[in-house]
Amino acid sequence: MSKRKVKETHMPVGECISQVQMILRERFCHQRLPEKPVGMESQHKHLLELLRRTAVHGESNSVLIVGPRGSGKTMLLNCVLRELLEVKDVNKNVLPVHLNGLLQTDDRIALKEITRQLNLENVVGDKVFGSFAENLAFLLEALKKGDRSSSRPVLFILDEFDLFAHHKNQTLLYNLLDVSQSAQAPVAVIGLTCRLDVLELLEKRVKSRFSHRQIHLLSSLSFIQYLDNVRSQLSLPQDFPDTNFYDEWNDGIKVRHFSSYPQLVDVLQRHYNSSKDFRSLHLLLMLALSRVSASKPAIKPTDLLEASRVCMVDSKANILHGLSILELCLIIAMKHLNDIYEGEPFNFQMVHNEFKKFLQRKSHSIHNFDKPVVIKAFEHLQQLELIKSMDSSTAKIQKEYQLMKLLLDHSQIMEALQKYPQCPTDVKQWAMSAFG
């Protein structure tokens, strides 16, 4: 620290802030890999060993990395790959092929992509020549010609592995795994998936060829560790240019500051209870970070509270705030219908009748709308997907008689009514009353 103080530099606050924004945003948007994957040391070691053996010894392997969304599968793999490529012998000796089940939606595309990334001889520029069958034969021939000791290992990285299992006959998986189990060019097939039952998707022949190695990424983070994570995610790296700002910032996010704010701990606990993964945490921190500016050069607990409020907000209740009184009345009518008929579907005519009954009773507070206007409002609700048609074939039935269901919970409606600006009291009372 003393050394640091010697070459102390000062930067304007604005510049510091923009630096902070840049560094932290890169972190939160997964554009920079962390130094070391947290909480998955054994998995990291296992995977690194496995890939190292493929790269160095030419041993073919297959492995699945399984974990819920946001648990850091891709991050782990990228860390391992980064580490692997730092090894001198390996650097020029492996051919990574990245595939994603969401992009390569069938084997034809996947094969072209593999061929392109391997840059085999039927690739010119970015174009892959030949038909599907030719490409497959070509790739298989190429892999068959290789052998353990002399050809470069190919690392097939299949993101969203489960989607590849839906390809016709699982041709691609069969062939990749078959290569990994036979004396051909050394390959490592690495699948990333969030599905725990992924092996059941594999056809029995494909399954038999898979080595059944699974690396599970299941975080058993305690709340204390979670808080540590929050802090470490927010803290600045050591090589931050302005040391004063660095010290201030990092002091500001010390854990004890958090604990002195019971509200903040509550909010974080709630987040922790909801999900432990990094992605939702990053979302929260990102919102808090965006409230930092030159005039407010530190993250305050209030920022986090506000961000959490934004995160936790119920989207449907928000939509309800933007409805007109008429539409709100229709929603209330539907709620009553739901109560009466115990969740059975309704149609426009029923809702309209219910609404008219209300109007007859309280005609002084609400305008008497024409039927076409009411239909319009009803359609608007449908467009907002607050109600949903139950029939698949909409063309046959007149829209007044189409059966609908309400996609709102009662609690959402009541909450929205409480917050609705200048809601007529009659309408509120109608909503609260037991029946119509």
Q: 298 near 249, Cβ under 8 Å?
A: yes
With CB under 8 A as the contact rule, the residue among 65, 97, 136, 323 that binds other proteins is 136
Q: Can residue 422 be called a binding residue for other proteins (CB under 8 A)?
A: no
Between 20 and 75, name the residue whose CB sits nearer to other proteins: 75
Q: Report the b/e string of 104-136 with b at 16+ CB within 10 A.
A: beebbebbbbbbbbbeeebbeeeebeeeeeebb
Cα atoms found within 13 Å of the Cα of residue 290, Cβ hemisphere only: 10
Nearer to other proteins, 140 or 325 (CB): 140
Cβ distance 225 to 39 under 8 Å?
yes
Tell me whether residue 23 or residue 384 sits nearer to other proteins (CB atom).
Answer: 384
129 is a site residue for other proteins (CB under 8 A): yes
**Of these, 139, 163, 307, 377, which contacts other proteins (CB under 8 A)?**
139
362: phi then psi, degrees, rounded to nearest 5 = -120, 50
Q: Of the candidates 57, 296, 321, 376, which one interacts with other proteins according to CB under 8 A?
A: 57
Q: What are the CB-based long-range contacts (under 8 Å, 24+) for 234-238?
A: 234/24, 234/285, 234/299, 236/20, 236/23, 236/24, 237/23
Backbone angles phi, psi at 296, to 5 degrees: -135, 70
Task: Measure the CA–CA gap between 142 and 358, rounded to whole angstroms.
Answer: 76
Give just the sign of the alpha carbon dihedral 186, 192, 196, 201.
negative
What gap in Å lies between CA 219 and CA 237, rounded to an integer?
A: 25
Give yes or no for residue 15 binding other proteins (CB under 8 A). no
Shorter beta-carbon distance to other proteins: residue 201 or 333: 201
Count of residues interacting with other proteins (CB under 8 A): 92
Residue number, 32 or 45, with CB nearest to other proteins: 45
**CB under 8 A, 24+ apart: contacts of 395-400:** 399/348, 399/375, 400/347, 400/348, 400/349, 400/352, 400/375
Centre a 10 Å sphere on the Cβ of residue 316 and count the other Cβ atoms it contains: 16
Residue 69 or 367 with smaller CB distance to other proteins:
69
The reply to whether 154 sits near other proteins by the rule CB under 8 A is: yes
Of 96, 100, 110, the C-alpha closest to 73 is 100
Nearer to other proteins, 5 or 321 (CB): 321
In the window 205-244, what residues touch other proteins (CB under 8 A)? 205, 207-209, 211-214, 216, 218-220
Site residues (CB under 8 A) for other proteins, limited to 268-297? 270, 272-276
Which range touches other proteins (CB under 8 A), out of 26-34, 75-83, 126-134, 240-248?
126-134
Asked if 183 is part of the footprint of other proteins (rule: CB under 8 A), the reply reads: yes
Strands 214-216, 187-193: pairing kind? unpaired
- To other proteins, the closest distance from the beta carbon of 36 in angstroms equals 19
146 contributes a contact to other proteins by CB under 8 A: yes
**Cβ proximity to other proteins, 26 vs 89, nearer residue:** 89
Nearest approach, Cβ of residue 9 and other proteins (Å): 43
Cα-Cα-Cα-Cα dihedral sign, residues 268, 273, 274, 276: positive
Q: Judged by CB under 8 A, does residue 254 bind other proteins?
A: no
Residues 302-321 as x/- pattern, contact with other proteins by CB under 8 A: ----------xxxxxx----
| Residue 37 binds to other proteins (criterion: CB under 8 A) | no
Give the position of tokens 């961000």.
307
Q: 255 near 227, Cβ under 8 Å?
A: yes
Other Cβ atoms less than 10 A from the Cβ of 323: the count is 19
Closer residue to other proteins in complex, CB, 59/426: 59
Does residue 124 belong to the site contacting other proteins (CB under 8 A)? yes
Beta carbon nearer to other proteins, 270 or 361: 270
160 binds other proteins (CB under 8 A): no
**Binding other proteins by CB under 8 A: which of 48, 85, 120, 286?**
120
Asked if residue 392 binds other proteins (CB under 8 A), the reply is: no
Residues 332-391 that bind other proteins (CB under 8 A): 385, 388
98 binds other proteins, rule: CB under 8 A: no
Least distance to other proteins, CB of residue 114, Å: 11
